[in-house]
Every structure is written in structure tokens, then in C-alpha cells.
A and B are shown apart, each in its own frame.
Chain A
Amino acid sequence: MKKADKRMGLTVGVRNFREAEYFLNRGADEVYCGIPQVPNHGVKAENFGSLEDIHRTIDIAHALKKKAFLVANDIFPHKDFPKAAKTAAALVERGIDGVIIRDMAILDYFRKKGLKTHFTLSTLALCFNSGSLGFFRDRGISRVVLPQQVTPEEAKPLFRNRKGVEIELFCLPLFYETNLNPLCSMWCPCGQEIVPGKAPRPFTCQSDLYRPDGEIFRMPMPDTRWLLSTLYDLYHLGADMMKVARGPNIEEVIQVFNTTVYITKLLEKGISKELFLHEGARAAKQAQNYGKNYIFSAL
């Protein structure tokens, strides 16, 4: 397999300036930051504490010829629109390179208020075919984060008909969700606030459930080999960016980041799929294979 024509970038979710500095100096091309004034899909512990910290993050990203984004990937109550738009506009003015959104209402509002920037569609918005991609492109989206549950065969037409829209991926063998995350209302740590030192309630989708015949049922997901194989194919279809999500547990985010960098380098070397599956499986074994660990830890 030949090398892809274009290098795939790496974007990392960060919670403060120290993390931004850490990842930007170790191979990240972009970081994205949340702030409480702009609602986003994450627990409180995943947000920046101050705007000043985001300004410093923008500055260091630009000094390194890299980028910083604002994450606004939640559904907004109307009362939050003016404050969110004002904050986003101020950050765009200050140099932030784009906004990650999920809510079409806020996207319309931002655009009506004259906010001109790069808009990324969160994976939470569910874009599974080129018609959906067109739907969001019509509304001003420049990049789509591909949902995790897309096969390479399904993704081909999306890549073929993207018409300038960038496509971002998760590092699938390291971060994969059993069910469609935005449509799931079962119990899991994602919906809980972190109490330091206290383990959150377990993921329903990772727990043993019992059928009437006494058999154990676990919600299924594809195995690591499939996830690696899919990642390999999506990379060679021309994915633009790979994503490492934010998390309240920095040790885990660093581990996922390092493994993602390694896996990305394997892809960039242009190695065969068989070799990638072998080496990728070895690397992925060292890292998490599902979701996030919600026990809080700081850098």
C-alpha cells in the first residue's frame, strides 16, 4: 500500500493551557478547548477554567504554526445563545481557528450574528451518508467528525462526495462506543459529574446482563482487529484528521495520545495492512479499548 498523498493531522481535546502546551509540543496539530460559558458535551472537569487560559492556548498554537478550536458540541438552551455567540465571536476575534458544533440552531444563530469561521460538525450529529454530509455542508459545515460506527465500504461515498469538506476520525481501536452515543439514554459515567475518589456508576453497555434463560448478554461491538482494519482503510480513503478526545483522566488521555501518534506514524509509513494489523494490535493492547475512564486526575 502506498503512502497517503496528504499527511493526516492530529487534534487533541485539552482542559487547560498546560495540557495544550504538552500536546502541541509532542505532535498535536490542533487542540480544542471547552469553556463553561459555551455549553459543550463533556463533564465540568473537561472545561478550561478561564478565557485567559484559552488566549494563551491560541498564542502557543499559533507560535508553533498550529491551531486551536473552541468546542460548542451540545444542544443549547435559547437563553445561552447571546452569551455563547458573544464569547465565540470574541475568541474568533482573538484568533481561535474554528468552532466545533452539534446544534444546528446555534450554527444558524452564529451565522446570523456574522460569525465567520471554520465550523466542524461533531460526531454527535450523526452523519452516515453523503446525503447527510450534503445536508450539513449546505448549512455551512467545513469539517465532519465521522461517527465511529461506519464501515469503510459505507464511508467510501462520503469521501468521494465530500466536495471540500474535511473528514476527521477517532482512533477507533483506542476509542469506540458500543452504541450510538448521542442517542443513548442508558446509565453510563458520561452523564455524571465526577466526584474525586469515588468510582462512577458503570457503563450499562459494558456490563453483564441476564437473559431469561440465564445466559449472559453483553452489548456487542467489533473486535480490535476490525477496528484497526477500518482505521487503515479510512486513512487510505483520505481522512484529514485523527482525534483524541478530552477526558477527565489525564494519564489516560496521554496514553491514548501517545498510542495514537504511534498508530498514525505506522499509517504514514505506508506499511501493508497485515503488518499494520499486527503492530497496531500490539500497540492497542497497551491502551484502553473502550470509552473513557472517568476517575479524575490532573496533569
Chain B
Amino acid sequence: MALSTPSSSSVRAAETVRSGLTARQSDPFGRAFQVSLWVAVLATVAILGVLIFDVVTHGWGVLAGETGDFLTGRLGSQPENSGLGQAIRGTFYIGVFVVVLTFPLGIAAAIYLEEYAQHGRLNSLISVAIRNLAGVPSVVYGILGLTIFVKALGSVTGPDANGRTVVSAGLTLSILVLPIVIITAAEALRAVPNGIREGGFGVGATRWEVVRSHVLPYAAPGILTGTVIALARALGEAAPLILVGATTGFLTGGESFLPDSLRERFTALPIVISTWSGRPGEDWAASTSAAIVVLLVIVFAANLAAIVLRNRFERGRR
């Protein structure tokens, strides 16, 4: 067969390829797939929208009617005389514990793992431990808090309240979010280009000086994002607080923001929401919705700050 006259089969193959590449075709399966992806995305966004709309519309009456009383009042047996003062105070102090304890500890651990640690058995054990701690259910951290901070250390955390205080709660939640802080801070440190470190070492700086003056400033926005997300997580947790013994019903005291009241009994926003959810009637549902709006505003404000910080950080890098 001559080279200049291609066989009929290869002509047919070329024709098939050409028509497959150039001819306009409908692609029903491809369209259907893309539409189903849109449905998945829209459904997810719609769920979020319905949730927020539902909570805001139900809670609006309570929030708009008596905002001041609702935000500062005490827990009560009737929806109309129940307020969130004690709960907001508890949640505030839990946040203080997380910021004061977990942020420095978690960032320090991340600095060790990313900047100091050599390959070795102990160091790989440490990173395995951190990854596993991040997956431990929150209620198990509650058991830890119950055993150690409430029972074993009760005389320290709250001698007059059987250890069921905001100190125990704050310590428990600080430990709960520690792996989140370590993992996100380590990621931020890993993203720092090595040239930045080498620049520091090149002028004779020690490792600590390089970390302090070169690595940390570069990684700061990423670290901050992770810590704020961890804080939001801690403020929304309820299960460990149930184990640690947050007060669900009537609570005397627990209003003062003075530090010497830390070793009294306490409650927190997620606990109040959980308790009120179980109470019957439209009025309780409205109060619960209003409490949820307050919690969501706090948590979203934290998350929003994290997102804004990260966007600014990413823009600065390009």
C-alpha cells in the first residue's frame, strides 16, 4: 500500500476524531452533573440561610423588646424574666482562659515542631499525639475535665462549688482547642519561605532571634486566623461543660465579672441554649432563639475577623 493513499480505516478514524473534536454536541450527562453540583452547593447555602432566618425571626421579638434586660438579666424559671447576664459572663471567662493559656502554649508548641524539632522518635510521637487529640470527641474532653479539674483538683478550682466552676470549664476548653491552635499555627509557620530564615541566619542571628524577628512576623496573620477560629470553637462548645457541671437551672451569683468570683458555680451561653431548647412552649423557643442569635453574633464576629485577616494576608503576599 502506498504511503500517499491512506487506508480507508485510518481515514475513518481521522474523521471520527475530527468530528469528535470540532462538531457541536450536546452533552446531557455533563450538564446533568454540573446541575447536580449546583444543587448541592445551593442546598448547602440554603440550609445556612434557613437556619439563620429561622433563628432571627423567632428570636427577634425578645431581642428587640427588652434587649437590655435580656442581655444582663439572670437565669429564671419563666421565659419573660430570664436573661443571659450570667451566661455571657461565663462564656467571656472561658474565652479569657483560652486566650491566656492556649494561645501562647499552642503557638510555642507549633514553633517547636516547625522550627526546632529534628526527626526523631519522640518528636514524631508528639505530632501523632497532636493529630489524634484533634479528633477526640469533645465529650471525652468533658470526662477529662470532670476527673481531673472537678474531682482531683476540686479544692483548687472551686472549694465551695465542688470544683464545678468556670476555672474548671476554662481549663477543660483550653485543652480541647489546644490541638487546633497547634495545627493551624504549624501550618502558618510551614508556609514561611526558607529564604526568610536563611536571611536571618546569614547575618549571624540565633534560632530564637530568627524565629522572633523573621518567622513570627511573617506567619502572624496565619497564626492569628487559626487562634481566632479555635476561640470561636471554644465559645460554642457545650458538651464538655455539661460534664464539668455548668449550672442549667437556677443560679445564684455568677454575675460578677470580678476575678475573685471565678471559683463560684457558673453557666455559659451554649449551656443555656441547650437547657432552654428542652423547655416547652413558644415563649421558651423565642428566648432560646434570641440566645442563639447572641451566641452566633459572638462566634461569627470571631470567624469574620479571621476571614478578613486571612484575605488581607493573602493579598499582601501576591
**Are A and B physically bound partners?**
no
> Residues of A with Cβ closer than 8 Å to B?
none
